[in-house]
Structure 1
Amino acid sequence: MVFLSGAPAPEEQALESNEGPLVRLHPRKLSQPFAKLSKASIRKDLVHQCQEKWRNATLDHFSYGDPTEKGEIATFPQRYFVCTNQWQRQAADGSTGPIFFYLGNEADVLLYLNNTGLMWESAPEFGAMLVFAEHRYYGESVPYGKNVRKHMRYLGAEQALADYAELIWEIKEEYDAHDSAVIGFGGSYGGMLASWMRLKYPHALDGAIAGSAPIWNFFGEVPPFDPGSFAKGVTYDASELAGSAPACADNVRDTWDLLRIYGGDDAGRKFLATGLGLCPSVPLSSEDDVAYLREWLGAAFDMMAMGNFPYPSAYITNGHGELPAFPVRVACTFVASDNLSDSELLAAMGKAVGVFYNHTGEAACLDPWAGTDPDSDHDGDWWDFQWCAEMLMPFSKDGVTDMFWSDPFNLEAAVAACQERWGVTPRPLWANTEWGGRRISAGSNIVFSNGLLDPWHA
């Protein structure tokens, strides 16, 4: 997820495209990722070392008056987990162990509890309490229940940080831990939150470990942010320098030419569908369908790059089945040959993206329009709202410095799509204004980490 990144800590994030009325394939979360789900979610037993707790969180931290007078709610149930097995309540010198606080991002908090190994591995050495807080609107921390979609305006980073600031105070009160230092942890959007909280609430957070946190990926940066950096990072993962087959990136790039050549008529589209191993029911009947297919194929490499860990991981699949270690390298083994015929290249590409879309090995064919698991569908939807409302990151491809196709970011189209879907008009410069962009020299005790295979590190 943006999440995702190199080796230090599983992270996540998202990718944008504007094919069709609103086909936005986030680098963080696909709208329809998997051809077939595994039969059981991957859940480790770490949660059994923690206590699930709930609090009544303030719905709107930044307004005054009684919201119930307008028919609004004042609070919502926020879930968090406290793990005290390693916490050293009082050392010989009278000090108390620190609190390692994970700032939940755009998924069920159990995903981060089960995948943030750095916190678990470091807790015994530091005698730390672990806290994993769930981000409002995600997981089970949902205001308004089934009617939540009508009340999206309270979903945002500023509100989430205020939730965490209040929660930290409450935990210190409950556990008499006022002398405990609090170190924030987060990956991808969670890493952004960790760094921003240290800047905005330095009295609540004594330090932050921000993994794969692209806090400079916004409009208004000086020097400007390179919107093609993510695509270049994915391409690097598919290169020989990153351990992938030498011909991989070129073969991936050549695939887009085949979609253009064969996508213009029914016979050509049938050739594409057969070659890629698509299911007979796939509606590949127009050039728009082929355009969506191209996005779907490319997004597989985006997702695998974000989960390009040196060990098998269920992180980027949202806990539903595992990807192999170094999934981009594995995918590239299928497109490793030179001088492939058109049919051979399509078949190879189908197998390559199957490393992600058919990671269970249970699907007999691939369906870009197949439904997703409820977790990823929900998270991708809500992240799309946040992208529109406050996280407008421009992404582009050029097909020259990356292995994709020419697709410059279109701000006008993005604004129109956000207005149509959410009734939200993006403010391109707001993120830089709110969080400071590169001008964060007043901050301290923030560690920004990333792996070199992490496409967000550029």
Structure 2
Amino acid sequence: MTNKMAAAPVRCFQNFLLIISVITLTQAWIPRNFRGRPKGGMLGAPKTTKYRGDLPSEMWFNQQRLDHFNGADLRTWSQRYFVNDTFYKDGGPIFLMIGGEGTADPIWMVEGAWIDYARQHSAICFMVEHRYYGKSHPVKDLSLDNLKYLSSRQALADLAYFVQFMRQKFNLPTNKIISFGGSYSGSLSAWLRAKYPFLVDGAVATSAPIHAQLNFKEYLGVVVSSLATTGDQCSIEIYIATKTIYSYLQDDDGRKKLKDMFYLCDSIDANNQMDIANLFTNLAGNFEGVVQYNKDNRAFEGAVGTNITIDTLCGIMGDESVGTSLQRYAAVNKLLLDTYSQKCMDFKYDKMISDLKKTDWNSSASEGGRQWTYQTCAEFGWFQSSDLVEQPFGISFPVNFSCSQCADIFEKEFTCSAISANIDDSNRYYGDYGIKVTKVVFPNGSIDPWHAMGILHDLSEDAPAIYINGTAHCANMYPASPDDNEELKQSRITISNLIGKWLAT
């Protein structure tokens, strides 16, 4: 690829090594899936299906403001971004991919549905990394005092400031702008259009949680519904296995059997309810992570686990040759441990908290776990609890468990009531389900648990929802696959047509 506006390109292999180093760094006590976020962020990297050249190199906006809401604070920092002008023709639109709660991966500059849209509409593409994630470090460390500058509102102001810089630097004074994002960055895409309509002419908000909520018990409800696409037996077997675990926890011999069967890194302390809660959270997480990304097309060099689907897990849970329900549940756990090259399951609460309290940029927590935890405590909640009655994963991780994590990690009075006040403030600020926007499209997949917090019905003719049956988190953003169902294929066509409409008006 000839990138006329970027500096020397970065090799795919170098990017692969970076990803591997991040994965190695984060093999600590933080779970693979924490608060709905897998390591690396909720929007994974797409597979390089067609492109085998060099990727655009990273570029830096060196005058990003630290605090956009304090005119007396003139401190600045360097924000990372990428550019691809391969498809651009004079007067074409600007496409802006918004970074979320993970490292901005330059593979998105050459792959994904938005690149197809850029080709169709002759757009120049920019991707901006979210403050505090990846290499975009506004402060010296992740101490609580420094985290006060980490918020969605500051991130949106970053984007507005970047747009002004970008228009001048690349001589794009009047070109129309369409923003893109998936998951949390999908929310940012919608909110950017809502808060800065004079800067952004349209927005694609894929799998975007628009409603903030303390107790996201509906998450497990969608997981159960998604497992039921294979039949009712899967959840029944999980329920039986869960009941058996509770009975085994009652005596030393049973706890030792659980340690051996589930390859636990430590022995179980029956008196430590936080450890017990973490154990059940992680076992549920085995299914949650697979459901959230079921059968999407996000595999890429160095990625693991993308071949494991709902069918895989429920196939094991329904296989009597594996053994009892508990043995099948343990087999699922072993499959995922092996897939992610983990020798044992980490479930000790104090060790997890200790990891998430680390503030150095080179720590395991800096991969994004500490930052995302802070944002959920300070802005959004979205705590995936066990408080839903009709789910098979037990009752050991109620919403109070997540609130306790906020207090223990940040050593601050993050009670459930205090967090609820933060959440109410976010919903008031952004508009909640009643968000007033035009020229925004809200795609969501029925398999994705996050759709329960999204816009599922048209807000207006000019702010439509696209509900895609049978697809998971951000599926419409990934490269097209021959295995895509018809609704997913049509969703990409609909989005491209909407972009064309917005650019013409």
TM over 0.5: yes
Q: How far is 1:447 from its partner?
A: 0.5
Query: For the aligned residues, what is the CA RMSD?
Result: 3.3
Alignment pair present for 1:204 and 2:188? no
Q: How far is 1:397 from its partner?
A: 3.1
SS at match of 2:282: helix
Q: Does the aligned pair in 2 maintain the 1:322–1:359 contact within 8 Å?
A: yes
Q: For 1:64, which of 43, 67, 71 is the aligned residue? A: 71
Q: Does the aligned pair in 1 maintain the 2:181–2:206 contact within 8 Å?
A: yes
SS at match of 2:78: strand
| Letter of the 1:61 counterpart | H
Give per-residue Cα distances to partners, 1:229-286, cap 9 Å, x unaligned: 21111112211x2xx354211111222111210012221111112223x05x423233
Q: How far is 1:399 from its partner?
A: 5.8
Query: Matched residues in 1 for 2:439 and 2:157: separation?
Result: 20
Within-5 A mapping of 1:142-221? 142-146=137-141, 150-218=145-213
In structure 1, the partner of 2:266 is 282
Q: How far is 1:218 from its partner?
A: 2.6
Give per-residue Cα distances to partners, 1:13-71, cap 9 Å, x unaligned: xxxxxxxxx9994112379xxxxxxxxx999578934242101210000012245xxxx
Q: 1:400 to 1:409 in 2, by over 3 A?
A: closer
Alignment pair present for 1:418 and 2:412? no
Q: For 1:335, which of 307, 311, 317 is the aligned residue? A: 317
Q: Does the aligned pair in 2 maintain the 1:198–1:446 contact within 8 Å?
A: yes
Give per-residue Cα distances to partners, 1:198-219, cap 9 Å, x unaligned: 1000111111111111112436
Within-5 A mapping of 1:14-413? 25-29=34-38, 48-55=54-61, 56-66=63-73, 74-88=75-89, 90=90, 96-110=91-105, 113=108, 117-146=112-141, 150-218=145-213, 227-239=216-228, 241=229, 244=230, 246-276=232-262, 278=263, 281-288=265-272, 289-311=275-297, 313=299, 321-325=303-307, 327-337=309-319, 344-360=324-340, 362-363=341-342, 366-368=345-347, 378-398=367-387, 400-406=389-395, 410=399
| Letter of the 1:137 counterpart | Y
Query: Matched residues in 2 for 1:410 and 1:366: separation?
Result: 22
In structure 2, the partner of 1:223 is none
Q: 1:97 to 1:327 in 2, by over 3 A?
A: same
SS at match of 1:456: helix
SS at match of 1:130: strand
Query: Matched residues in 2 for 1:350 and 1:115: separation?
Result: 40
Q: Does the aligned pair in 2 maintain the 1:228–1:396 contact within 8 Å?
A: yes
Give per-residue Cα distances to partners, 1:109-131, cap 9 Å, x unaligned: 11772796111222211111111
Q: Does the aligned pair in 2 maintain the 1:394–1:409 contact within 8 Å?
A: no
In structure 2, the partner of 1:19 is none
Q: How far is 1:358 from its partner?
A: 2.9
Alignment pair present for 1:457 and 2:451? yes
Q: 1:202 to 1:42 in 2, by over 3 A?
A: closer
Within-5 A mapping of 1:426-437? 426=419, 427-437=422-432
Query: Matched residues in 1 for 2:335 and 2:204: separation?
Result: 31
Which moves more between the two structures, 287-296 or 370-379? 370-379
Greater relative contact order, per chain length (Cα 8 Å cut-off, separation 6+): 1
In structure 2, the partner of 1:37 is none
In structure 2, the partner of 1:444 is 438
Q: Does the aligned pair in 2 maintain the 1:42–1:320 contact within 8 Å?
A: no
Q: Does the aligned pair in 2 maintain the 1:101–1:183 contact within 8 Å?
A: yes
Q: 1:414 to 1:355 in 2, by over 3 A?
A: closer
More helix by share: 2
Identity %: 26
Structure 1 residue ranges without an equivalent (≥5): 1-21, 32-40, 68-73, 91-95, 220-225
Q: How far is 1:376 from its partner?
A: 7.1
Query: Matched residues in 2 for 1:144 and 1:236: separation?
Result: 42
Q: 1:194 to 1:23 in 2, by over 3 A?
A: closer
SS at match of 1:390: helix
Query: Matched residues in 2 for 1:227 and 1:100: separation?
Result: 32
Normalising by structure 1, report the TM-score. Answer: 0.77
| Letter of the 2:406 counterpart | C
